[in-house]
């Protein structure tokens, strides 16, 4: 019974991977298909690592991933804890909080694009009516990246909240009761008891989010398209441009392999560091 | 003491409320825009109070392009869900019930297929599809989406099968039923809830997936997200119509949310914590 899914998965993962690996050592391009796949050795890789654009995109990707995931983690944990202590409203609220996760990202991003509009958008309207200066959300490089992070936070904070909520529900009661008897404040209890017990859940939520944020595409493509200039062009977008717009498939394939290596190295490092293999959640 | 407690209570309610507004607002704004005239969408300051009209919806349901995209998504998402379950559930059952050498390695490999950036798979996919002539077909996109969702099905369903009490199946074996029979007649019906949850997730992921659909499809098989993104490019001025088509295309998701809320929450949490 394992066989059908194994064959399909092998066909759909290992085979493209090997093919992509080979492709990455060629200069195959759909602009000059008559040349076919000509081996160029490590040329693509050398070219990528020596282009400044790659390092700019790399930095953009790291900044985007770091800030988006960090804020999601804090906000998601806070909301999960608040809901946990307000069990009366929890069911309705949890259903509401779930909405951003389910809505088609492209549609949600379109809504944000209207709201970020400099002259007609609601965000600037709120800023102006509370006495702040309006912002050119999507046309200034730094602000455009912040706008993207805001959209990502909107969409994915509920994901962390859900996982943490699941973790909270499974925690034992005793340590909390005895801490309360000892006269610890709520905040002390949270940092000394709740947080350490939640660690495996948080680690899991964070690794999932980092992997996904690293390869975010739809939000960026629809909101800024990588612009202004190349200021919000992440690695994923850059690979897409080279592969699908300039049709340099060999070059793009080696680009994708580099991304794959980065994410594998990082997640191995992260999983080792946090030891979530050993805990029960690691059964995932 | 009492007033301090009250302050705490109020603050936490306030935060819960603010977060709810924050979660809902972009969706509300999309809905509100879709019920305005094009002139109203360009009003400065933005209009919060207006007389809603459904003209935009009337307009878009007459647009064959929108239905085309809509049905493409329906076909691709249903196909993906069906095949992912058919392939993934039996595999999950084997992994949960039979301990063999390399079991956990195999499981980890399946999970790792989800880690890869899609672009790493997509460029080879694109070249292969180009050669086989299945670019811009439903089956091509379904295959690609299966590769995304199979890991999810296997992981979640394995958890369900592991939690199932052994006794139920053992009594079936004692009655002389074969493994396969037990699987179909006993184990599958019991795990129905789990399969519904996983199925909804598969449908959702496939419905919302953008990058693969963007690369592997064109006019013939393009799905909802690609459709919306193309509309955004072509007619950015007609916000109201665009918002209406975006709303129209996320309707199936809202239907799912209303009908399967419990399973969805279960599925989403199960997906992460087993």
Q: For B210-236, what is each residue's pLDDT tens digit?
A: 999 998 998 888 998 898 888 776 555
Alpha helices (H) in A90-140, listed in sequence order:
90-102, 105-115, 122-129
Structure tokens at A22: 């080979």
Mean pLDDT of B167-180: 77
The number of C-beta contacts closer than 8 angstroms across A and B is: 270
Q: Residues of A numbered 29-58 whose beta carbons fall under 8 angstroms of chain B's beta carbons: which are they?
A: none
Q: pLDDT class for A270, splitting at 50, 70, 90?
A: confident
In chain A, residues under CATH classification 1.10.3720.10 are 51-253+265-283
pLDDT of residue B234: 58
Prior bond of A228 cis (ω within 30°):
yes
Distances (CA, A) of A206 to A74, A146, A169, A197, A240: 11, 20, 19, 15, 25
Q: Rounded mean pLDDT of chain A?
A: 83
Residues of B in contact with A89 (CB under 8 A): 13, 16
Mean pLDDT of A218-242: 88
CA atoms of A242 and A251, how far apart (whole Å): 7
Q: How many residues does chain B have?
A: 274
Q: Residues of B numbered 207-236 whose beta carbons fall under 8 angstroms of chain A's beta carbons: which are they?
A: 207-208, 210-211, 214-215, 224-225, 228-229, 232
Residue contact B128–A165, C-beta within 8 A:
no
pTM of the model: 0.86
CA atoms of A144 and A164, how far apart (whole Å): 30
In chain A, whose CA is at the least distance from the CA of B244?
A: A107
Residues of B in contact with A267 (CB under 8 A): 115
CA atoms of A98 and A154, how far apart (whole Å): 11
Q: Nearest by CB to B20, which of A2, A8, A96?
A: A96
Residues of A in contact with B29 (CB under 8 A): 111, 114-115, 122
Domains and CATH numbers, chain B: 58-272 (1.10.3720.10)
With CA atoms as reference, report the closest residue to A117 among B45, B22, B23, B235.
Answer: B45
Distances (CA, A) of A105 to A16, B211, B250: 26, 11, 10
Which of A182-191, B68-77, B88-97, B165-174 shows the highest mean pLDDT? Answer: B68-77
Residue contact B150–A159, C-beta within 8 A:
no
With CA atoms as reference, report the closest residue to B238 among B59, B26, B45, B49.
Answer: B59
In chain A, whose CA is at the least distance from the CA of B152?
A: A284
Q: Rounded mean pLDDT of chain B?
A: 82
In chain B, whose CA is at the least distance from the CA of A276?
A: B273
Mean pLDDT of A189-203: 84
Residue contact A163–B272, C-beta within 8 A:
yes
Residue contact B117–A12, C-beta within 8 A:
no
Residues of A in contact with B243 (CB under 8 A): 110-111, 114
Residues of A in contact with B20 (CB under 8 A): 93, 96-97
Higher local confidence (pLDDT), B22 or A172:
B22
Interface probe, candidates B5, B22, B26, chain A, greatest A C-beta count within 10 A: B26
Structure tokens at A200: 């495996």
- Would you call B134 an interface residue with chain A, using a CB distance cutoff of 8 Å? no
In chain A, whose CA is at the least distance from the CA of B104?
A: A283
Name every residue whose Cβ is closer than 8 Å to that of residue A15 and which is 6 or more positions away in sequence. Answer: B124
pLDDT of residue B272: 46
- Would you call B147 an interface residue with chain A, using a CB distance cutoff of 8 Å? yes
Measure A122 CA to nearest chain B CA, in Å: 6
Q: Which CATH superfamily is domain A51-253+265-283 in?
A: MetI-like (1.10.3720.10)
pLDDT of residue A64: 95
Mean pLDDT of A118-147: 85
Looking at this predicted complex, what is its ipTM?
0.85
Q: Nearest by CB to A166, which of B211, B214, B273?
A: B273
Q: Nearest by CB to A111, which of B16, B26, B274?
A: B26
Interface probe, candidates B23, B118, B265, chain A, greatest A C-beta count within 10 A: B23
Name every residue whose Cβ is closer than 8 Å to that of residue B159 and which is 6 or more positions away in sequence. Answer: A283, A284, B96, B194, B270, B274
Structure tokens at B102: 């390399």
Eight-state DSSP code of residue B61 = T
Mean pLDDT of A201-206: 84
pLDDT at residue A201 tops 60? yes
Mean pLDDT of B265-273: 57
pLDDT at residue B268 tops 70? no
Residue contact A205–B115, C-beta within 8 A:
no
- Would you call A100 an interface residue with chain B, using a CB distance cutoff of 8 Å? yes
- Would you call B124 an interface residue with chain A, using a CB distance cutoff of 8 Å? yes
Q: How far apart are the first and last CA of chain A?
A: 21
- Would you call A103 an interface residue with chain B, using a CB distance cutoff of 8 Å? yes
């Amino acid at each position: 019974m394992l066989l059908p899914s194994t064959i399909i998965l092998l066909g759909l993962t290992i085979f493209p991977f090997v093919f992509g690996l080979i492709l990455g050592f060629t200069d195959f391009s759909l602009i000059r298909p008559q040349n076919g796949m000509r081996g160029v050795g490590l040329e693509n890789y050398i070219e990528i690592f020596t282009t400044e654009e790659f390092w700019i995109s790399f930095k953009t990707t790291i900044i985007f991933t770091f800030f988006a995931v960090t804020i999601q983690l804090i906000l998601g944990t806070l909301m999960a804890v608040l809901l946990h202590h307000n069990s009366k409203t929890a069911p309705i609220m949890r259903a509401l909080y779930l909405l951003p996760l389910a809505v088609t990202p492209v549609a949600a991003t379109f809504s944000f694009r209207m709201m970020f509009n400099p002259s007609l958008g609601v965000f600037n309207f709120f800023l102006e009516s509370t006495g702040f200066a309006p912002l050119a959300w999507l046309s200034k490089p730094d602000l455009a990246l912040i706008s993207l992070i805001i959209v990502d936070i909107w969409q994915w904070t509920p994901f962390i909240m859900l996982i943490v909520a699941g973790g909270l529900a499974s925690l034992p009661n005793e340590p909390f009761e005895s801490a309360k008897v000892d006269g610890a404040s709520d905040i002390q209890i949270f940092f000394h008891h709740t947080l350490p017990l939640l660690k495996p859940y948080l680690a899991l939520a964070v690794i999932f989010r980092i992997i996904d944020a690293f390869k975010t595409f739809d939000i960026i493509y629809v909101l800024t398209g990588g612009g202004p200039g190349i200021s919000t062009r992440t690695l994923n977008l850059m690979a897409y441009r080279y592969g699908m717009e300039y049709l340099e498939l060999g070059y793009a394939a080696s680009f994708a392999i580099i991304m794959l290596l980065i994410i594998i190295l990082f997640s191995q490092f992260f999983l080792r560091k946090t030891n979530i293999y050993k805990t029960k959640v690691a059964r995932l | 003491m009492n007033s301090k407690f009250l302050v705490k209570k109020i603050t936490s309610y306030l935060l819960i409320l603010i977060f709810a507004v924050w979660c809902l607002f972009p969706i509300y704004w999309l809905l509100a825009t879709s019920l305005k005239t094009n002139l109203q969408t360009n009003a400065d300051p933005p209009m919060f109070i207006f007389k809603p009209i459904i003209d935009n919806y009337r307009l878009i349901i007459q647009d064959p392009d929108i239905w085309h995209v809509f049905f493409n998504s329906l076909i691709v998402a249903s196909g993906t869900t069906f095949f992912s379950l058919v392939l993934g559930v039996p595999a999950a059952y084997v992994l949960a019930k039979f301990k063999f050498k390399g079991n956990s390695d195999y499981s980890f490999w399946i999970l790792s297929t989800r880690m890869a950036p899609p672009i790493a798979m997509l460029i080879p996919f694109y070249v292969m599809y180009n050669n086989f002539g299945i670019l811009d077909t439903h089956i091509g996109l379904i295959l690609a989406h299966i590769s995304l969702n199979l890991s999810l099905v296997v992981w979640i369903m394995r958890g369900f099968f592991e939690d199932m009490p052994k006794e139920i199946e053992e009594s079936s074996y004692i009655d002389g039923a074969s493994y396969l029979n037990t699987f179909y007649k006993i184990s599958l019906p019991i795990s129905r809830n789990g399969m519904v949850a996983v199925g909804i997730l598969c449908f959702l992921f496939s419905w919302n997936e953008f990058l693969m659909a963007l690369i592997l499809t064109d006019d013939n098989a393009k799905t909802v997200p690609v459709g919306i993104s193309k509309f955004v490019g072509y007619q950015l001025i007609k916000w109201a119509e665009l918002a209406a088509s975006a709303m129209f295309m996320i309707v199936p998701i809202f239907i799912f949310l209303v009908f399967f809320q419990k399973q969805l929450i279960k599925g989403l949490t199960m997906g992460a914590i087993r």
